[in-house]
A and B are shown apart, each in its own frame.
Chain A
Amino acid sequence: MCKAVAFVTYKEWSAYRTHSLVSVFVGPVYFMVQYFICTAIYGGNITLGGLEFEQTVRYFGASALIGYLTMDFADWNLQMLVRTGKFLTFTLRPMHHRFFALSQKIGHRVLGFFLEFLPCLFIFALLFKVEIIPRYMGWTVLSVALAFLMNFYVNYCLGMTAFYFVQANGIRVVYQLLGSIFSGALIPLSFFPEVIQRIMMFLPFQYTNYIPAMVWTGNNSIGEMGMTIPQAVLYQGIAVIFTALLSEVIYRSSIKRFTAVGA
């Protein structure tokens, strides 16, 4: 079932492949700016935020690539389905909507893998000469897979706010705003004060980008806490399990509130 939904989604979005191909321009341009910023600020410094110049550059490259593999809009999609009443059609289907949405995401990101991830990987490696191949491939694949799930489950939880509010777009926007700061996409979290890094351990943001990007760079002392890669991935795994369970609890409570006619 998952394979069929993923394949259909892949084909559906293939019709809009130029949307994905925009990333082939946008990703390297952002990376170029980050590269020049790093070059300028590292001037006389050996390490900043516990990262050397090469590690920071690799971090930004990895961060962009991880974004292509884990990108998700389950929140927007679910909110739209609930608001318009179309969610009704999913309650009639012999499969959980969350599983359907996850299968859709897999298909969508497989397309992203070919049209966004691979071209940008080659551009970073060949044009910018960044050592972008992960040092610990197994840990990196596991961490990115967990980030993929984390992003999905968190967004799904956000999407379920539509069961409680007529227009829940503002909640999404606020989360995205916080996520853009605390996921580490703007700047590695190791640049933040230690207290914020500790607080972030209990929030979902860093598990979607910062942790997998640090694992990708192969740095075996992550953040002020000096986490090893296995420790970081373990925390990430715990966070994913917790969020998945939370999404189930919220779903069971939310579905009782859903009313629609006809759809």
Chain B
Amino acid sequence: MRYIKIYLACLHTAFSRAAAYRLDFVLGNLITLLSNIIFPLATVLIYANGARFSGWTMWEVLLIQSVFSMSNALASMISGSVLWVTMDSIQAGSFETVLLKPLSPLFFIAAANFDTGSIGLFLGGLAMTVISASFTGICGTGGILLFLLMFISGAAVMCGLDLIMAAISFKWVGNSRIPEIFDSIKEFGKYPMGIFPRSVQVLSSLILPVSAVGFFPASALLGRLDIRSLISVLPCMLFLLFGVWIYNRMIKIYEGVGG
């Protein structure tokens, strides 16, 4: 209960901060949204040139990509700042100020740095999802419930990735290219899984479950989800737990002299 109250207070502060710099908030959200809706453009151009992903219409592929954007935005709001704040604090030697707080360091950083800059991306992703779904049609209440389950699992994967990146920054100090490594892996979650070889499909469903970010939720909405795919919920949750565990573990290797 205490943690919920603190999180709500932090949310209030984050929105007050955004309200103080309204133009910056609006422009920041707009730019984030625009830079994230680029990759569906490639899909549109591919279909406009007469090509296609076998068995998938353009709107179905766009649905995968818009769900991916939504999941990405949700994770960015919750845990997107953890990497940069952790990395900067380690580099500046000021992580002690976080450790001194009477809270879990991870919870404190995530709560105190709620990213309002991704709200636009979330709303944009939501709008794209609704538009895409209006062209593809959706598979009833059951499909929506399955979608929500898979969407939460996908967001858990994205948060887990954020935490693993932040954990790496304890060892690999000041390397601002860490996110690029994980961004490249996320690419596998933006397209129909069937276009990848079997080994990549297994890897992206069970080991690094990025397929759960866009592909599985969209498939659930379309009524095309293989029921065996539900098993991927487990690795998704384990992935998030692993992220939390590794972050807390890596804190122990932090060295500083007083901030």
Contacts and interface: CB of A to CB of B under 8 A. Distances in A.
Bound pair: A and B? yes
Interface of A: 18-19, 22, 25-26, 29-30, 33, 36-37, 39-43, 45, 48-49, 170, 173-174, 177, 180-181, 186-187, 191-193
B172 A18 contact: yes
Interface stretch (B103-111, B145-153, B179-187, B223-231): B179-187
21 contacts: A18-B172, A26-B180, A33-B187, A36-B196, A36-B197, A37-B195, A40-B53, A40-B191, A40-B192, A43-B51, A43-B52, A45-B50, A45-B51, A48-B49, A49-B49, A170-B27, A170-B31, A187-B42, A187-B45, A191-B45, A191-B49
B54 A40 contact: yes
B207 interface: no
A170 B29 CA distance: 12
In the A-B complex, list the 6 residue pairs whose CB atoms are closest, starting with the nearest. Answer: A40-B195, A29-B184, A41-B51, A22-B177, A33-B187, A191-B45
A186 B51 contact: no
Contacts of A173: 31, 35
Interface string B191-217: 110011100100000000000000000
Contacts of A41: 46, 51-53
B46 A191 contact: yes
A117 B13 CA distance: 46
Interface in B43-59: 45-46, 48-54
B242 interface: no
Contacts of A39: 195
Nearest to B45: A191
A84 B178 CA distance: 27
A193 B48 CA distance: 9
A37 B42 CA distance: 11
Contacts of B175: 18-19, 22
A29 B172 contact: no
